[in-house]
Structure 1
């Protein structure tokens, strides 16, 4: 019988024992914020990701080199109507030899398409399992969420360095933080259809073109799900300016905060100040794309990107 439970798998050349050990090194691939033991039957650990997601997991199956199953004893999301949506679901890791390779099959039992968090959660699991966990197995280094203190410190430093003269625009929208965050990452749907590269995860690089050799290239320098996105501009060509590289080194910041049952998005272009040659033209452009395109894309699913 076909199941709707979310499942993904991958093959690696490492042994079943190496895969099993990596799975149980939860801090090495999921989050450095995990508290508690994660390597034996009956152990309970807590996952904490900022104010976005908290879970308590209990290991209910533990067969060395073959299988691990977690029961989600408690869960909290700040971005779903049912904040406890994962509670009583199970997370399974099955390990088996396939020729000279080892297969890992990950299944979140109970995470089905009818759940509100399905799209967001399956996307996140794909990144953690096929990205971070697989990297931990094959290279010895995963990509877990960093310990929260380091994130908070970096955000505070960024806020402290921000000038009141930096261009900023804000709006309040009747959508969940997760929907706002997802819309921002889909740059070709609200800014320009001429996008090369990816704009989702930290380290991603993408270029946005506007015709007549007008382009800018950005690196995603921070991506805190449902809370904050930062892009650093590493290259640009603005043919309508004397200094055609004026944006290089400036940053685009998207801050997302729940507010009275709605979500406030504040966009700031750090470094775009009145003394800059492009200030008037560029602020008008941002007004058009943020309020005139990103906002309707969040609300209606249809933006007005430059084609």
Structure 2
């Protein structure tokens, strides 16, 4: 299996970071504005990505697997790009001095493919959007995220 891993330190409380990762409202402020569903264990969250003109360019569903306050959020993808189905995203949180450290993993990719490289870069951008949201109150979710190539 192939994994994407990132580490980011956020100057905010672990509660604030956890809320940004574990609620529909929070996710919509750092990842994609079009986020719906129920953020409860076993429930599904739907995310959609759009161009700045409003055209939908992708969507995914994931089941919430882990919600441990201030410590862990986990998702399992059930629809979306073929390469994502069955993969998991894990956010492990811990405090170091005045930082909440987020250890991010998008794990269990079937193989190393070019799309994984694209997704790794996009996840890094969205982790910086999460940092920005928690530190300043404003993230950069899709469709206002940094575009890196012709796939977004």
Fold-level similarity (TM above 0.5):
yes
What is the Cα deviation at residue 13 of structure 1?
2.5
What is the Cα deviation at residue 125 of structure 1?
0.6
Partner residue in 2 for 1:26: 27
Q: Structure 1 length as normaliser, TM-score? A: 0.43
The structure number with the bigger radius of gyration is 1
Partner residue in 2 for 1:119: 117
For 2:72 and 2:60, locate their aligned partners in 1 and report how far apart those are by CA, in whole Å.
21
Secondary structure of the residue aligned to 1:52 is strand
- 1:287-306 CA distance string (max 9 Å, x none): xxxxxxxxxxxxxxxxxxxx
What is the Cα deviation at residue 126 of structure 1?
0.7
- 1:150-194 CA distance string (max 9 Å, x none): xxxxxxxxxxxxxxxxxxxxxxxxxxxxxxxxxxxxxxxxxxxxx
Secondary structure of the residue aligned to 2:34 is coil
Candidates 3, 6, 10, aligned match of 2:4: 6
Give me the CA root mean square deviation: 2.5
Map 1:41-60 onto structure 2 (within 5 A).
41-50=41-50, 51-60=56-65
Q: Structure 2 length as normaliser, TM-score? A: 0.83
Map 1:49-128 onto structure 2 (within 5 A).
49-50=49-50, 51-76=56-81, 84-111=82-109, 114-128=112-126
Instruction: Give the structure, 1 or 2, with the largest relative contact order (CA under 8 Å, sep 6 or more).
Output: 2
Map 1:257-276 onto structure 2 (within 5 A).
none
Give the gaps of 5 or more residues in structure 1.
Answer: 77-83, 148-199, 202-222, 229-307
For 1:28 and 1:112, locate their aligned partners in 2 and report how far apart those are by CA, in whole Å.
30
- Are 1:6 and 1:112, in contact at CA under 8 Å, matched by a contact in 2? no
The total of aligned residue pairs comes to 144
Partner residue in 1 for 2:134: 137
Give the gaps of 5 or more residues in structure 2.
Answer: 51-55
